[in-house]
Amino acid sequence: MQVDPRVLQIFEIDDQEIGDFEKFHTLIAEDSRMRLTEIYRNCLKDVTDIDTQFQAYTERGRAIWVRVVGIPKIDGSEVVEISGLVQDLSAFKRKETEFRDQILRRDSHAYSGDSNPIFAKMFESALDSMAIINSKGIICSVNQMLCELFQYSSEELFGKNISILMEEPDRSKHDGYIQRYLETGEPHIIRKSREVQGLRRDKSLIPLELSVSEFAIAEEKYFLGSIRDLSLRRADGSAKLEDECEGSRKELAGRLAHEVNNPLAILLLQTEIIEERLRNNGGLPEELEGRFIKMRESIKRIHYTVKSFQ
């Protein structure tokens, strides 16, 4: 492995460690290592160029952002070498973060308690979970009910994409939904309600009813999502269904007792009377007696089976 000294300067690595690939690997942020390994494997397998960004750390522990561009060199059908460049994006990323925070602070102030106290009070005291996002899908504000429902704090959600609370396929497609609406003006969910699956912090799913409306402040579009937890409603519905089933079962048992069991009881009594009279008159032939006993036992079995439903 050959490394340009300027790359070593980016990672603040001493000259004597040139060529130590493992050193670079350990400096890559842990959540990026698997992704970069997969990109590298795809490059070797499919002979594709590499162009990716990731977070890393210098030898001195300073966090940096890096862009890597790689071009595979082929010998026959195999990749024998990957050459390219490494670019330090740290300064650019800092500016990007500062700009994003400015936008979010502006968006947050647009409906803060200072600028619109009535709206803020209504938003926070709403019985439903509520969130406000901008036209990029970024969360600008959430109320306490939403935080409790999804198991996040408002600080953890502020500035994140609303898709963090969604299950696939909506998670991947949500930004496209917004962009399509902004371009065409055709509402697919705006001012409508639909059932969706929400994703809590612990990765558990929760059935939700989502209603979305839009509003504008200083020509900027925002979306207000009102979310209702359907799990309790469904639990109540299941309990109600169980009560209805239990009521139907009892009603059926009552009808069986009246329409079937009562005649069976009379029939059983008649067999006992017949058996007693036959015994007093010398009884039945052995073959008929066996059949008579089977008939009486069958009647008893049906009688007790129907009675067990009551």
pLDDT in tens, 167-193: 888 888 888 888 888 888 887 778 777
Range of lowest pLDDT (28-32, 40-44, 45-49, 305-309): 305-309
Range of lowest pLDDT (15-19, 46-50, 129-133, 185-189): 15-19
Closest CA to 167 of 150, 155, 184, 146: 150
**Bigger pLDDT: 58 or 273?**
58
Asked whether residue 48 carries a pLDDT value surpassing 70, the answer given is yes
Asked whether residue 108 carries a pLDDT value surpassing 60, the answer given is no
223 with 136: CB under 8 angstroms? no
Q: What is the pLDDT of residue 155?
A: 85
Calculate mean pLDDT across residues 84-109. 70
Taking the C-alpha atoms of residue 28 and residue 58, their distance in angstroms, rounded to an integer, is 9
Asked whether residue 233 carries a pLDDT value surpassing 80, the answer given is no
Q: What is the pLDDT of residue 1?
A: 61
175 with 188: CB under 8 angstroms? no
pLDDT class for 200, splitting at 50, 70, 90?
very high
pLDDT class for 262, splitting at 50, 70, 90?
low
CA 293 to chain centre: 63
Residue that the structure tokens 């008649």 belong to: 270
pLDDT class for 162, splitting at 50, 70, 90?
very high
Between the ranges 110-124, 140-154, 177-191, 214-228, where is the mean pLDDT highest?
140-154
- In the chain, ranges of CATH 3.30.450.20 domains: 5-88, 95-229
* 95-229 topology per CATH: Beta-Lactamase (3.30.450)
Q: What is the pLDDT of residue 152?
A: 92
**Amino acid identity of 196?**
V
Between the ranges 60-69, 86-95, 300-309, where is the mean pLDDT highest?
60-69
User: Taking all residues of the chain, what is their mean pLDDT, rounded to a whole number?
Assistant: 76
Q: What is the pLDDT of residue 245?
A: 65
Calculate mean pLDDT across residues 101-106. 59
Q: What is the pLDDT of residue 225?
A: 87
Q: What dotted CATH number matches 5-88?
A: 3.30.450.20
pLDDT class for 11, splitting at 50, 70, 90?
confident
Asked whether residue 104 carries a pLDDT value surpassing 60, the answer given is no
Q: What is the pLDDT of residue 198?
A: 92
Q: Return the C-alpha torsion angle 255, 256, 261, 267, nearest 10.
A: 100
Asked whether residue 150 carries a pLDDT value surpassing 90, the answer given is yes
Calculate mean pLDDT across residues 238-254. 63
Q: What is the pLDDT of residue 204?
A: 92
CB-CB neighbours of 271 under 10 Å:
16
